[in-house]
Amino acid sequence: MLIIRSVLFNAAFYLSTALMLIISIFTYPLPRRYLIKLAGIWAKVCAWLFTTIVGGSYEVRGAEKIPKGQSIILASKHMSAFETFALVPLVDDPLFILKRELLRYPLFGWALLKTDMIPIDRSAGLKALRGMLLEARKKMTADSRQLIIFPEGTRRRPDTEPVYKFGISHIYHALEVPCYPVALNTGLFWPKGSPIRHSGKIIIEILPPIEPGMGMRPFFEQLSETIESHSNRLISEARAANKDLPPPTKTEA
């Protein structure tokens, strides 16, 4: 049953994504907010497909902490593809920093252009960082957008050592807005690099904000410790409630 549910969900996920991209074409002549709204609907559909086909439930804790119409940073743990769409409906006008190469994909890249995200050339080093900070500040000042970012830069499996990038401190320092840490347990149910999807209770938790004005190094240490400690707690909760989940693996560097 596990394999059958996983195959059915993966097929439904990719079909719904393709359908959303086709429908999105009709929003291109309209203001950006219409495509953002469509993306939020798609995200809710994907979460519903996961809980319905794979089984289990999905809970967002602390969503009421996120202010409306205000520029903030959501700095999230990154374990799976689930949070890349699940965080979108939680804010009014999401802003992502993404690889420039993604813009080359038909439909998907066009949608990214329409939603006015921030593409960067990762090979450009410090020049890319400076340009990204200027662009993020411009967009957030003009439109009060909410930056969603994954400080580790890539997905990390549960039980592996975290690798946070100090660039998040530069972003926090430059933007001067509250930063909300986000903990989660999604990697237990949507494992990185695996087509298998496990049933259980997915939890995303919005934690109290780190207000602007903290030094870069203290901010970095508080953010990483907060995200890790709360994510580890959520992982422990899930394993205690669901004995069918894969056991802890050896910690990786």
Round to whole Å and give the CA distance between 239 and 4.
22
Round to whole Å and give the CA distance between 50 and 56.
8
Within 10 angstroms of residue 145's Cβ, the number of other Cβ atoms is: 22
Least confident of 44-53, 94-103, 172-181, 198-207: 94-103
Alpha helices in 26-75 (DSSP H): 32-49
Whole-prediction pTM: 0.92
Provide the residue ranges of all domains of the chain, joining segments of one domain with +.
Answer: 56-241
Which pLDDT band holds residue 98 (cuts at 50, 70, 90)?
Answer: confident
* Length of the chain measured in residues: 253
End-to-end, the C-alpha distance of the chain in Å comes to 33
β-pair type (56-61, 72-76): unpaired
Q: What single-letter DSSP state applies at residue 210?
A: B
Round to whole Å and give the CA distance between 249 and 191.
12
Q: Convert the pLDDT of each residue in 112-169 to its tens digit.
A: 999 999 988 766 667 777 888 998 999 998 899 999 999 998 999 998 999 999 999 9
Please check the confidence at residue 253 and state whether its pLDDT lies above 50.
no
Round to whole Å and give the CA distance between 117 and 253.
31
Radius of gyration of the chain (CA): 18
pLDDT in the model for residue 130: 84
Please enumerate in sequence order all residues whose Cβ is within 8 A of that of 24, keeping only pairs 6 or more positions apart, or say none. Answer: 35, 38, 107, 110, 111, 114
Q: What is the mean pLDDT of residues 220-224?
A: 98
- CATH number given to 56-241: 3.40.1130.10
Please check the confidence at residue 252 and state whether its pLDDT lies above 70.
no
